[in-house]
């Protein structure tokens, strides 16, 4: 392997002789970032080594900047007082970190006590150029929550949260994106299952098309999630808090076995789907999206606003709806808490909508005058 010697030489050229005398933040800034293949692998290897040393307490503690210290206090508030999920807590932290850096919080001797509305507006305008209205709504809500947190602690002027307005978004103004079922089958047939990556990608996409999983649910599956003897699969559902147990179909079981036979047998990870390139480890949700984009392009499937791998979830819902599956059954499969969430698919069921359409009134003939 060329990456390890390359990484060693690279760090030595930067004057690093002992990793234990460095902080994780400093080491990350010293990793190679060139576009060539070996530096890319060396960068990934370096990140894995840093994570391992951090977990075992082998690196120097990184002193917290004022931004990071405030974010840690805010995250404890979100966890202990608001009771937010870890993933939601993390999204809040990312948004607030961008906000604090935009107002140069580290260089403010008075902290947030002299915060002006113009600074909040500048941050919102800058973010608004890069995200849509729905995302902007979430960012505005996070910013209001943070400003109220500061106000309650006496660290910001009262009433600033009232100046953060959310863009208007009307519920149901956009239709969900769903592929015709014949294109879903074409996508699955296009996947080359003669390689490890192809077997993994096929199994991931088939799970979404069969059970309507979200990409995060696919990435979080463990080896223990599958009970081979009883022929069931336990799927984590973070949004509803409890897993759902589904029957393991023959097609899905065959796809998983094909992948597991090619999966490295010496892996110490219990996660089901792993990266195919070194360093080995569990995949992220983005790997599922990348797999979908790659094979969809190869199959020639593309339309505006396809929405990535999530459109397979919508496609399954529409396929079941056209087979006259009860709406409640579809909602239970998709993990919806209310029928209203599943009802969005009814708007795409055009043939049934034709039956409930009212006839157009006949135009009244204009009176003809001599």
The pLDDT score that the predictor gives to residue 164 is 92
Instruction: Report residue 139: phi and psi, to 5°.
Output: -65, -40
Assigned domain for 68 exists: no
Assigned domain for 66 exists: no
Q: Is the domain of 196 the same as that of 157?
A: no
Q: Is the domain of 194 the same as that of 319?
A: yes
What distance in Å separates the CA atoms of residue 141 and residue 122, rounded to the nearest whole number?
Answer: 16
Q: Is the domain of 220 the same as that of 345?
A: yes
The total of structural domains in the chain comes to: 3
pLDDT band of residue 269 (cuts 50, 70, 90) is confident
- For residues 196 and 263, the answer to whether their CB atoms sit within 8 Å is yes
pLDDT tens for 183-192 read 999 999 999 9
The pLDDT score that the predictor gives to residue 355 is 62
Q: Which is more confident, 85 or 283?
A: 283
Q: Which member of 239, 298, 328, 347 is catalytic?
A: 239
Q: Is 313 a catalytic residue?
A: yes
Q: Which is more confident, 298 or 32?
A: 298
Q: Which member of 92, 197, 310, 314 is catalytic?
A: 310
As to burial, measured by CB atoms within 10 angstroms (0-12 exposed, 13-18 middle, 19+ buried), residue 137 is middle
Assigned domain for 69 exists: no
As to burial, measured by CB atoms within 10 angstroms (0-12 exposed, 13-18 middle, 19+ buried), residue 23 is middle
Q: Which tokens sit at 142?
A: 């996070």
What distance in Å separates the CA atoms of residue 210 and residue 313, rounded to the nearest whole number?
Answer: 9
What domain range includes position 142? Answer: 81-163
Q: Is 174 a catalytic residue?
A: no
Q: Is the domain of 204 the same as that of 338?
A: yes
Q: Which member of 92, 214, 314, 319 is catalytic?
A: 214
The pLDDT score that the predictor gives to residue 99 is 94
Q: Is 336 a catalytic residue?
A: yes
Q: Is 56 a catalytic residue?
A: no
Assigned domain for 363 exists: no
Tally the residues of the chain: 370
Assigned domain for 72 exists: no
pLDDT band of residue 350 (cuts 50, 70, 90) is low
What distance in Å separates the CA atoms of residue 154 and residue 167, rounded to the nearest whole number?
Answer: 28
pLDDT band of residue 314 (cuts 50, 70, 90) is confident
Burial of 263-276, coded b for 16+ CB within 10 Å and e otherwise, reads beeeeeeeebbbbb
What distance in Å separates the CA atoms of residue 344 and residue 319, rounded to the nearest whole number?
Answer: 14
- Residue 323 belongs to domain with CATH number: 1.10.443.10
Assigned domain for 172 exists: no
pLDDT band of residue 195 (cuts 50, 70, 90) is very high
Averaged pLDDT, 137-163? 93
The pLDDT score that the predictor gives to residue 229 is 92
Assigned domain for 169 exists: no
Q: Is the domain of 305 the same as that of 235?
A: yes
Structure letter (DSSP) for residue 282: B
Q: Is the domain of 157 the same as that of 296?
A: no
Q: Which member of 92, 263, 313, 314 is catalytic?
A: 313
């Amino acid at each position: 392997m060329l990456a390890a010697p390359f990484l060693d030489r690279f760090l030595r050229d930067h004057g690093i002789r002992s990793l234990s005398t460095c902080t994780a933040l400093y080491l990350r800034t010293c990793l190679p970032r060139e576009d060539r293949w070996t530096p890319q692998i060396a960068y990934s290897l370096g990140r894995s080594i840093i994570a391992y040393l951090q977990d075992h307490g082998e690196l120097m503690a990184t002193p917290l900047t004022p931004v990071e210290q405030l974010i840690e206090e805010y995250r404890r508030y979100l966890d202990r007082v608001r009771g937010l999920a870890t993933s939601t807590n993390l999204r809040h932290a990312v948004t607030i970190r961008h906000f604090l850096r935009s107002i140069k919080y580290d260089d403010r001797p008075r902290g947030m006590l002299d915060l002006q509305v113009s600074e909040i507006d500048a941050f919102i305008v800058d973010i608004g150029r890069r995200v849509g209205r729905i995302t902007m709504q979430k960012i505005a809500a996070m910013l209001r929550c943070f400003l109220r947190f500061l106000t309650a602690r006496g660290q910001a002027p009262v009433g600033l949260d009232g100046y953060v307005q959310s863009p208007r978004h009307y519920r149901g103004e956009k239709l969900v994106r769903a592929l015709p079922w014949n294109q879903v089958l074409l996508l699955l047939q296009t996947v080359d299952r003669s390689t490890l990556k192809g077997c993994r990608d096929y199994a991931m996409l088939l799970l979404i098309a069969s059970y309507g999983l979200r990409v995060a649910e696919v990435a979080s599956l463990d080896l223990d999630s599958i009970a081979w003897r009883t022929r069931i699969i336990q799927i984590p559902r973070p949004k509803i808090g409890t897993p759902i147990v589904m029957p393991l179909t023959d097609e899905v079981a065959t796809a998983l076995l094909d992948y597991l036979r090619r999966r490295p047998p010496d892996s110490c990870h219990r996660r089901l789907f792993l990266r195919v390139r070194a360093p080995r480890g569990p995949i992220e949700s983005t790997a599922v999206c990348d797999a979908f984009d790659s094979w969809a392009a190869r199959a020639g499937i593309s339309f505006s606003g396809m929405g990535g791998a999530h459109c397979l979830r919508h496609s399954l819902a529409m396929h079941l709806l056209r087979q006259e599956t009860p709406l409640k059954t579809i909602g239970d499969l998709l993990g919806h808490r209310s029928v209203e969430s599943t009802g969005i698919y009814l708007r795409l069921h055009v043939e049934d909508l034709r039956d409930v359409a009212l006839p157009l009134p006949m135009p009244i003939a204009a009176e003809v005058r001599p």
